[in-house]
Structure 1
């Protein structure tokens, strides 16, 4: 479930880092989450009228928002994977359901 998805993100991220000479040290994982949240916030600001759209349509911005949300999800899963966090158990504890991803 979450482990399989985390492994897919890990493989993609590791390949990208290797290809581009990026060192994924412990700080990198949390900083990337912050970066992606900032990018998602930037798109949200445009969609909600708090930022310039630079001529992009609402449909374009929603697509971009989906992309940034996917990036954020990926980096959350990478952070959890790197720190060997049991997200499934945490979801059950905090959200009171069993994840079925």
Structure 2
């Protein structure tokens, strides 16, 4: 159980994995390689939908909580995708993004 007020990326990743296992078992979902990418795309679409609704460019209404919930879904699905394919998100972010903060040699 997570008790700290701030979550690390590793904690979110581990919890997402456990929750995904529970969800897949409950609904008999076969999570093959494609499922992880397609589910990430689905969640990104739902985030886009909430964004469009909040900016009055989509049908229906949304709240900031809807946007936050969909962003959480995208984050967790991305972490699940990384787990599935053995990607270390911490190492990848350090290599791809944080290297820009290092002084040029």
Fold equivalence (TM over 0.5): yes
State the distance in 2 between where 1:2 and 1:49 align.
33
Q: Look up the match of 2:4.
A: none
1:92 to 91, 94, 101: 94
Q: CA deviation at 1:95?
A: 1.7
1:26-77 CA-to-partner distances (Å, cap 9, x unmatched) read: 1000000000000000111111111122xx4xxx511101010000101000
Task: Summarize the alignment of residues 1-101 of structure 1 with structure 2, pairs less than 5 Å apart.
Answer: 1-53=8-60, 56=61, 61-96=63-98
State the distance in 1 between where 2:63 and 2:12 align.
26
State the distance in 1 between where 2:83 and 2:54 align.
32
SS at match of 2:63: helix
- Give the superposed CA RMSD: 1.4
State the distance in 1 between where 2:9 and 2:71 align.
17
How high is the TM-score relative to the length of structure 1? 0.84
State the distance in 2 between where 1:86 and 1:13 align.
18
State the distance in 2 between where 1:37 and 1:29 align.
12
How high is the TM-score relative to the length of structure 2? 0.81
Aligned length: 92
